[in-house]
Amino acid sequence: MKFFFPDSQDMVSPTYDFINDEYSPFRVRQRDDKYAHEVLSPPPYDGILVSKAIVDGSIKGAGKYSMPQRERLYRLGVKNYFRLPDGVASLGDCGAFNYIDEELPPYTVDEVLDFYEGCGFDAGISIDHIIFGYAPDVSDADAKPAWTERRQVSLRYAEKFLAGVESRGRRIEPVGSAQGWSPASYADSVQRLQDMGYKRIALGGMVPLKTNEILACLQSIDEVRAPRTELHLLGITRVTSMEEFARLGVTSFDSTSPFKQAFMDDRDNYHTSDGTFPAIRVQQSDGNPALKRRILSGAVCQNTVKAAERECLKQLRKFDSGASSVETVLSALAEYERLVDPSKKTRIPGYQRTLEAKPWKSCRCELCQKHGIEIVIFRGTERNKSRGFHNLSVLSARMHDIAIRPSAEER
């Protein structure tokens, strides 16, 4: 099972000073900062996925790339821009969620192929249009007109896309995009894409679906799927079901979930092979608007807050070296938590679980080995992204360990 990481210009600075929370004055981001595949070995994914909408923008406005970054990507190509090592593939797509509210996709086939070929992608996904909704028992004849039209739009673009790839000398591997609202409609889309000549098909629009609904679609698809057809799940991470997904023809998927959970989830911030732990929040006192308001209102003294913040970090680092106890650290964290926002529910029980388990001590990834307890401290982008990169490595290792088991019928 191959894992692709969707790019959003996420990097970490190898020279960041965690003790003083500051960057090197000589740092040049694009030159000095590193992608996940440059700080972890082996790379924590099999490939990267880059969307045209992220690079070039779409109906919603400019993408996440600055003009110099965009020009550099086109000039260097995706492999050199991302400094990809051998074995890490590149996959392009259109970023359909960026134009989900439009009647039609905002790109032409030639524009998309120019992007894929101009950047030197290994493979590219055909233009598609996401369908709003899931109704497993609704036939084509009874479906909402917008659903049937979006599915037909995706198929028409797929046919033109494949013809464009062939006419240009097949410089990329074409990946057809299948959309649907039910197991039957997804299966029909896959069948029609296969009839066109696609051997690799991406299943889009499944992000909102429950796992049993995804499995129902895959089971229907499997009835029409040719033995050599490979399926890619767009935006799906369901680790506990990946073995069954693989048995039903899924060979790859992409997701940002493990990365984003490092700093967007309320509890599951640090991943291990058999569970997750909450990161320990020591918020920067000078970067917290709510805390600033409390200080300005006189509810809390700024000097007291600063001292409590420093004490938390001091005790955490002493704990990492064996010079402080769990109880001492928790006491410091509880005091700072009370000062920052006494109205919120305490996180101390979760912190206790993390500190007692010390998961960063047993992790062999380069980031945990280098940063120690800093990687489980929820505080600023460098720690949070480093923890996110660690999570990617955990997911990648789990995916590579998947054993594809035969179905009951096959046995």
Sign of torsion over alpha carbons 195, 196, 201, 202: negative
Helix or strand or coil: residue 378? strand
- The per-residue pLDDT string of the chain (411 residues; one tens digit each, 9 = 90 and over) reads 899 999 988 999 999 999 999 999 999 988 899 999 999 999 999 999 999 999 998 776 677 899 999 999 999 999 999 999 999 999 999 999 989 999 999 999 999 999 999 999 999 999 999 998 999 999 999 999 999 999 999 999 999 999 999 999 999 999 999 999 999 999 999 999 999 999 999 999 999 999 999 999 999 999 999 999 999 999 998 888 999 999 999 999 999 999 999 999 999 999 999 999 999 999 898 888 888 888 889 889 999 999 999 999 999 999 999 999 999 999 999 999 999 888 889 999 999 999 999 999 999 999 999 999 999 999 999 999 999 999 999 999 888 877 554 443 443
Q: Give the Cα separation of 58 and 282 in Å (integer).
A: 38
Helix or strand or coil: residue 217? helix
46-255 belongs to which homologous superfamily?
Answer: Queuine tRNA-ribosyltransferase-like (3.20.20.105)
Contact between residue 154 and residue 177 where contact means Cβ atoms under 8 Å apart: yes
The tokens describing 47, both together, are 């490939």
Q: Give the Cα separation of 318 and 315 in Å (integer).
A: 5
Q: Give the Cα separation of 95 and 57 in Å (integer).
A: 9
DSSP state of 84: P
Helix or strand or coil: residue 281? strand
pLDDT at residue number 191: 98
Q: Which residues are catalytic?
A: 93, 254
pLDDT at residue number 403: 55
pLDDT at residue number 240: 87
